[in-house]
């Protein structure tokens, strides 16, 4: 399977350990981004993974592309041009102290992209799957048009489309998000979202669940997923179910809704001692996409994707550096973490 992922690569600058930003005079530097994280995960699962973006024509931009080359992500379709490397500062939370992200991504090369920058015929050559997220069109109206271009082209060619709704209140309002995203939903075969995304991006609200309080209601999730499929014709909706006990410990599970069967599949649930939760959702998306290249059942799909994204959160950095074997080992074991020797 060949997957095209479209989005922005960012530079992540993290305060070391559990310090506050600039408490120390060093920042950990790595490249990442919701869509790039998916591309890397897929490559690590052995999928032919292509990352499409627009990046600054500088040694910073080149270093970003090399960070993907490292994982054998195909970066030959990246366009280089004006604009800066978007970045974010990260302060890792602990216990009652939340992680804090300060974005500095305006005027980035990606945000400044034009429709003419992307030759979708060339990009989609040989592709089986197209993945994008709700962050893309939030960056500019032009970018919303670009997403429309890409999705339309993909559908014409019979390429499967997945989208992680990924609502970011710092990028756009719920109202704007709905205006832009609803028309794009018709292209989406696999919709990935959590409850907040469904409400803010599609206006679909559960009745009982209160995320803040960590109360998760299984039937609510099924209802939301069903409604999405009914309204927009999606074939699948995949939802992660995070229970935030604290910044250091989370419950983690997920659900896959199969529209054809009108059936929900819930994964086993993990209590995770968090090493780095950023990128958890992206690793879930990637693993879910991966399962469509295998003959897994829906239950197996959701178990694989949940285990993969559980493991991501035990590793430092946004990228999920685990293999299919690592994930299968967790799926088929108790997750008791005994040393392998």
Chain-centre distance for alpha carbon 184: 17
**Alpha carbons 171 and 162: distance in angstroms, whole number:** 21
Minimum Å gap between C-beta 195 and its own copies is 13
Minimum Å gap between C-beta 168 and its own copies is 7
Structure-token pair, residue 151 = 């999705």
CA distances to 67, 84, 117, 134 from 60, rounded to whole Å, are 11, 9, 20, 25
Structure-token pair, residue 307 = 């285990």
Q: Which is nearer to its own copies, 24 or 115 (CB)?
A: 24
Q: Which is nearer to its own copies, 231 or 315 (CB)?
A: 315
Minimum Å gap between C-beta 170 and its own copies is 6
Query: Reduced to 3 states, what is the DSSP secondary structure of residue 144?
Result: helix
Q: Which is nearer to its own copies, 94 or 230 (CB)?
A: 94
**Alpha carbons 239 and 198: distance in angstroms, whole number:** 10
Q: Which is nearer to its own copies, 181 or 322 (CB)?
A: 322
**Alpha carbons 136 and 10: distance in angstroms, whole number:** 13
Q: Which is nearer to its own copies, 259 or 311 (CB)?
A: 311
- On whether the CB atoms of residues 177 and 187 are closer than 8 A, the answer is no
Q: Which is nearer to its own copies, 17 or 183 (CB)?
A: 17
Minimum Å gap between C-beta 31 and its own copies is 8
Q: Minimal CA–CA distance to 255: which of 195, 326, 214?
A: 195
Minimum Å gap between C-beta 121 and its own copies is 24
Minimum Å gap between C-beta 227 and its own copies is 25
**Alpha carbons 111 and 114: distance in angstroms, whole number:** 9
């Amino acid at each position: 399977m060949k997957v095209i992922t479209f989005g922005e690569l960012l530079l992540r600058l993290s305060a070391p350990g559990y310090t506050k930003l600039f408490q120390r005079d060093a920042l950990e530097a790595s490249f990442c981004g919701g869509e790039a994280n998916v591309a890397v995960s897929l490559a690590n699962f052995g999928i032919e993974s292509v990352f499409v973006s627009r990046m600054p024509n500088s040694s910073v931009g080149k270093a970003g592309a090399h960070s993907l080359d490292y994982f054998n992500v195909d970066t030959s379709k990246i366009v280089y041009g004006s604009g800066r490397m978007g970045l974010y500062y990260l302060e890792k939370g602990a216990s009652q102290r939340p992680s804090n992200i300060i974005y500095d991504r305006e005027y980035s090369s990606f945000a400044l992209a034009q429709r003419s920058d992307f030759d979708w015929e060339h990009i989609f050559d040989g592709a089986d799957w197209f993945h994008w997220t709700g962050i893309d069109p939030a960056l500019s109206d032009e970018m919303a048009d670009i997403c429309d271009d890409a999705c339309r082209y993909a559908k014409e060619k019979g390429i499967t489309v997945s989208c992680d709704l990924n609502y970011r209140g710092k990028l756009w309002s719920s109202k704007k998000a709905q205006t832009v995203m609803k028309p794009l939903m018709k292209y989406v075969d696999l919709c990935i979202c959590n409850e907040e995304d469904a409400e803010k991006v599609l206006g679909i609200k559960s009745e009982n669940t209160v995320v803040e309080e960590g109360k998760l209601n299984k039937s609510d999730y099924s209802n939301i997923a069903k409604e999405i499929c009914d309204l927009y014709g999606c074939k699948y909706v995949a939802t992660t179910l995070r229970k935030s006990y604290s910044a250091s410990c989370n419950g983690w599970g997920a659900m896959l809704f199969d529209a054809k069967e009108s059936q929900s599949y819930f994964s086993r649930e993990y209590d995770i001692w968090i090493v780095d939760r950023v990128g958890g959702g992206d690793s879930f998306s990637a693993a879910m996409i991966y399962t469509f290249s295998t003959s897994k059942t829906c239950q197996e799909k959701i178990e694989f994707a949940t285990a993969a994204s559980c493991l991501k959160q035990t590793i430092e950095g946004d990228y999920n550096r685990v293999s299919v074997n690592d994930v299968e080992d967790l799926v088929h074991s108790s997750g008791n973490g005994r040393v392998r020797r």
